[in-house]
Structure 1
Amino acid sequence: MKRSKWSILALAITAATSQLAYAAEVANDDSKDIGPELLAQGLSGSSQAQSTGFIEGSDLTLLSRNMAYYKNFRNTDPQSQNYRNEWAQAEMLTFTSGYTQGTVGFGVDAFANGAVRLNSGGGTGGSSILPANGSHCAENDAGETVSCQGQDGYGMVGGAVKMRISETELKAGDLNPQSPVFGTWDGYLMPAHTNGLMFSSNEIKDLALQGGHFTSGNSENSTNRSGNLGTTYGYTRVDSANYIGGDYSFSEDLSGGLHAADFEDVWHQYYADLYHHWALGEETSLLTSLNYYKTDDAGDSRAGKINNDSFSAALALTTGAHTFTFAHQRINGDTPFDYLGISGFSGADNAANGANPLSAYNGGGSIWLANSSQWCDFNAPGEKSYKLQYDLDASSLGIPGLSFMTRYVTGKDADGTGADAAGAYGWENEVRNGEEWERDIQVAYVVQDGTAKGLSFKLRQATYRGNSDANINAGADNEEVRLITEYPLDIL
């Protein structure tokens, strides 16, 4: 029997609110008729009971973000695009209301985002910074579209309504869920959103619950809030997605989580993690993290047969200002590890977009494997990868606000010959012995005081190389540079 799309969410809300019922019951053990007064007594110490009001608890912020993006492809066909070069400025105004007072509080979150193009030629677009301008595109000798100039400007206004009881919140509208099985991303000029409803609850001490139901969204370079949800590597449209999960802190040093998602007629995905912090001295500690995903096809299996078990393990040793990380990641199964993608297109027109790189699903933020990097996810079927990373926090060296990171990830043994040839991952059949590596470098600085306090600069450089088989999964060899400047301003 096919489970109702709302059943998972209903189960989650029931679990999250069970503590509310208990709080009301203990207010009067002899009463079976629990009214609003008793409920209010049970919630007297909650965040909602301490609400200062819709306007009094509100915030209005403006985030200015400037991004310059350059990517040089190293082994592309002469008929393909060989580099991308885009530069744009965005202004993002966000209003977050407080909650009305009372046992049940109501509020609104709203945003107004806008961006302008500073540079993007007809043959240099496609970086996901700007939406493509279809009237200014470059073609190869065969008449195929290679890239389109970014639009001169674009913007989007949206928001969500919200309700809170005690420590439980329910929101509906344009949202930014952050779950390992369903999450948006904000790594380019403006953030992506998904449209639906979600809840979060902290009623039970040390336990954080969340869940949601979504049917559409807008990618980071689109203003179409009715854009299709889909799969990043399988290019498969998803009519609706549900997720639920919880994270529990067993102690100050040990925490873990369990999460699950249902992408209608595509997959069931399950996730578990465990984090342990071990203090080895006054300035020395070891963080151990374990992450595991299991993904299987579900319902009508619109993406074909899916079987994937993926895990990563990482050790991060911190001593003073320095952190050294070693991680191992492994993808088991005939299909790649895949995750949420969002398209700028709506409806059935995404059916043919798998062959068009300008119309693919932009990846979301729901890949929590240790070796997913700036360009490559190291997620091909059968792939084994290893990471070495060094981080420097220069605050303890007398330069507060300055940080540095460099990492090297190498993967091998990618083999997609077992993928369902008739499914969405049939193209992986050509991957037989994929090998690849990526090197990332980042320097960041945040102004600590004065008029420009909060102004930040990030310079990111990535170099990716792979053999021809690995390029099928990850894309062409390239060198990428991103320069990101941000300035947050608190208005209210």
Structure 2
Amino acid sequence: MNKKANLPLLMMASSGMALALPVAALAAEGGFIEDSTATLTARNYYFSRDYSDIVGSPAAQNKSRAEEWAQGFILNFKSGYTPGTVGFGVDAIGLLGLKLDSGKGRVGTGLLPVQEDGESADEYSRLGAALKVKLSKTELKVGELQPNLPVLTFSDIRLLPPSYQGASLVSQEISGLTLQGGHLRSTSLRDEAGDDKIRALIPTGSVYRRTTVSDGFNYAGADYAFNQNRTSVGAWYAQLEDIYNQRFFSLKHSQPLGAWTLGANLGYFDSAEDGNELAGEIDNQAFYSLLSAKRGAHTLYVGYQAMFGENGLPRVFANVTPLGNEVPTFEFAAPDERSWQARYDYDFSSLGIPGLTTTVRYITGDNVDAANAGGRFEGKDWERDLDIAYVVQSGPLKNVSVRLRNVTARSNYRTDIDENRLIISYTLALF
């Protein structure tokens, strides 16, 4: 499904897929062409991460900084469906990443592939497509997928998004109920041109272990929304074959109360080893809660998260989770960790500056079952995040978004981090 390509070829390839279907079907009102959309996103990404007190794995001790600057292009094409009881269509994605600045001692940001000589690649690209089939309110996709699931969250947090190769099924035949299932056989990571088998990341003590490969990731789940969509519950099962299996349960609720809107997001994971136990025994139970209160331009959050068992929360490698206290720098998901969060969001439109928003967040964790050469000890960590984002509201730069993130993260069992990110992006609707 994936191959090296440049941006013009990506556009031609997605357009060519439309020509492959019968002309009569394509021309039908509300059909393949009539309902097709295509967007091109340009994303400029600067990433800097300084390691000020290096501890943890030997690999981390070999460098003190990761800093790169890159330009990415993301082309998304989504066709409509051919007419008839069963509709057919095609989704396609083309990705191109270009190096603007890097160096052998500064690689590893996740923006660019790292070559055998230790340098980052000058450019990389991917092209993928999925055939989709729709019957009533049930849709099957086979090919290049970008699922967004509680057990496999869509992790578009670097220059280019990751994708997976396999099959997925989504059914919404019953009002409020969404059923999903699928099998994924391989993945294209956010900084890779090709595809590879899927791996797991398992927190154990002071180390996050990247495991051996698996032959596939299987999942099935249900989400049900009711109470005028203010309340939803979910139940999911996931299996990374021969590594881990996982159960997930969730509850979300939003409650208007006068001028306030109160919210609750609760979740529970239960994970264990699977099949041939290629990563050994796995034992984790994870609970999280994130409560919110919104009034006008102000939103306050408080969160509590707890890990139980011999391991931290296992997940697919290079993938984030819906944990309430997980952020892009620290996960607060180490063995036995307890963590608390306070967060404040503000929308400056109430002050006459539409498009400007900010988030301030502080998370602290303790009770980590950590170890070093001196023996076992209690691990502790904390992180402070400041996000400022602005979307241009008018003029020739309308809809250009600028986001700045500044992070300070400290720990007594893993590497301290000072981090800055600057992301400038613009999405153009082609048709």
Relative to structure 1, the CA distance from residue 261 to residue 93 in structure 2 (aligned partners, 3 Å threshold; closer, same or farther) is same
In the other structure, the counterpart of 2:396 is: 451
In the other structure, the counterpart of 1:349 is: none
Aligned pair 1:382/2:358, yes or no?
no
Residue identity opposite 1:106 in structure 2? F
2:370/2:379 contact within 8 Å kept: no
Give 3-state SS (helix, strand or coil) of 2:157's partner: coil
| Matching residue within 453, 467, 478 for 2:417 | 478
Give 3-state SS (helix, strand or coil) of 2:115's partner: strand
> Is the radius of gyration larger for structure 1 or structure 2?
1
Aligned pair 1:369/2:323, yes or no?
yes
TM-superposed deviation, 1:189: 0.2
Write out per-residue CA displacement over residues 180-216 of structure 1, whole angstroms, 9 at most, x where no aligned residue. 1123311100010111000111111001111110110
Q: How many residues align?
A: 392
In the other structure, the counterpart of 2:171 is: 201
| Matching residue within 258, 264, 269 for 1:281 | 258
Residue identity opposite 1:257 in structure 2? G
Give 3-state SS (helix, strand or coil) of 1:229's partner: coil
| Matching residue within 106, 114, 129 for 2:88 | 106
| Matching residue within 52, 77, 82 for 2:64 | 82
In the other structure, the counterpart of 2:276 is: 300
Write out per-residue CA displacement over residues 357-393 of structure 1, whole angstroms, 9 at most, x where no aligned residue. xxxxxx213x111000120110111110000000012
In the other structure, the counterpart of 1:332 is: 308
Residue identity opposite 2:136 in structure 1? S
Write out per-residue CA displacement over residues 68-102 of structure 1, whole angstroms, 9 at most, x where no aligned residue. 01111101379621111100001111111111011
| Matching residue within 123, 142, 154 for 1:184 | 154
Q: Which structure dedicates a bigger proportion of its chain to strand?
A: 2
Relative to structure 1, the CA distance from residue 51 to residue 261 in structure 2 (aligned partners, 3 Å threshold; closer, same or farther) is farther
Residue identity opposite 2:389 in structure 1? A
Give 3-state SS (helix, strand or coil) of 1:179's partner: coil
Aligned pair 1:433/2:378, yes or no?
yes
In the other structure, the counterpart of 1:127 is: 109
Give 3-state SS (helix, strand or coil) of 1:123's partner: helix
Tell me, in whole angstroms, the C-alpha distance in 2 between the residues paired with 1:171 and 1:231.
24
1:335/1:416 contact within 8 Å kept: no
Tell me, in whole angstroms, the C-alpha distance in 2 between the residues paired with 1:192 and 1:69.
18
1:326/1:387 contact within 8 Å kept: yes
Tell me, in whole angstroms, the C-alpha distance in 1 between the residues paired with 2:360 and 2:70.
26
Residue identity opposite 1:270 in structure 2? R
Tell me, in whole angstroms, the C-alpha distance in 1 between the residues paired with 2:248 and 2:128.
31
Aligned pair 1:414/2:368, yes or no?
yes
Q: Which structure dedicates a bigger proportion of its chain to helix?
A: 1
Residue identity opposite 2:309 in structure 1? G
Tell me, in whole angstroms, the C-alpha distance in 2 between the residues paired with 1:116 and 1:407.
32
In the other structure, the counterpart of 2:99 is: 117
In the other structure, the counterpart of 1:143 is: none
**TM-score of the aligned structures, taking structure 2 as reference length:** 0.88
Identity %: 38
| Matching residue within 125, 145, 148 for 1:155 | 125
In the other structure, the counterpart of 1:490 is: 429
TM-superposed deviation, 1:314: 1.6
Higher mean displacement: 76-85 or 302-311: 76-85
In the other structure, the counterpart of 2:188 is: 218
Tell me, in whole angstroms, the C-alpha distance in 1 between the residues paired with 2:291 and 2:306.
15
Aligned pair 1:257/2:234, yes or no?
yes
Structure 2: unaligned runs, 5 residues or longer = 1-27, 203-208
1:416/1:428 contact within 8 Å kept: no
2:153/2:322 contact within 8 Å kept: no
In the other structure, the counterpart of 1:73 is: 51
Tell me, in whole angstroms, the C-alpha distance in 1 between the residues paired with 2:423 and 2:156.
12
Write out per-residue CA displacement over residues 382-436 of structure 1, whole angstroms, 9 at most, x where no aligned residue. 110000000012223322111100100000011157xxxxxxxxx9996531000
1:169/1:201 contact within 8 Å kept: yes
Tell me, in whole angstroms, the C-alpha distance in 2 between the residues paired with 1:260 and 1:183.
14
Give 3-state SS (helix, strand or coil) of 1:102's partner: coil
Relative to structure 1, the CA distance from residue 429 to residue 286 in structure 2 (aligned partners, 3 Å threshold; closer, same or farther) is farther
1:321/1:397 contact within 8 Å kept: no
In the other structure, the counterpart of 2:199 is: 230
Residue identity opposite 1:84 in structure 2? A
Tell me, in whole angstroms, the C-alpha distance in 1 between the residues paired with 2:327 and 2:61.
28
Tell me, in whole angstroms, the C-alpha distance in 1 between the residues paired with 2:384 and 2:200.
26
In the other structure, the counterpart of 1:53 is: 31
In the other structure, the counterpart of 1:347 is: none
Residue identity opposite 2:340 in structure 1? Y
Write out per-residue CA displacement over residues 153-174 of structure 1, whole angstroms, 9 at most, x where no aligned residue. 1111111111101111100111
In the other structure, the counterpart of 2:22 is: none
1:335/1:428 contact within 8 Å kept: no
TM-superposed deviation, 1:51: 7.5
Structure 1: unaligned runs, 5 residues or longer = 1-49, 138-148, 342-362, 418-426
2:96/2:125 contact within 8 Å kept: yes
TM-superposed deviation, 1:242: 0.5
1:308-327 matched pairs, under 5 angstroms: 308-327=284-303
Give 3-state SS (helix, strand or coil) of 1:62's partner: strand
Aligned pair 1:243/2:213, yes or no?
no
Residue identity opposite 1:463 in structure 2? T
1:276/1:287 contact within 8 Å kept: yes
Relative to structure 1, the CA distance from residue 279 to residue 304 in structure 2 (aligned partners, 3 Å threshold; closer, same or farther) is same
Tell me, in whole angstroms, the C-alpha distance in 1 between the residues paired with 2:329 and 2:48.
13
2:325/2:331 contact within 8 Å kept: yes
Higher mean displacement: 255-264 or 480-489: 255-264
1:374/1:440 contact within 8 Å kept: no
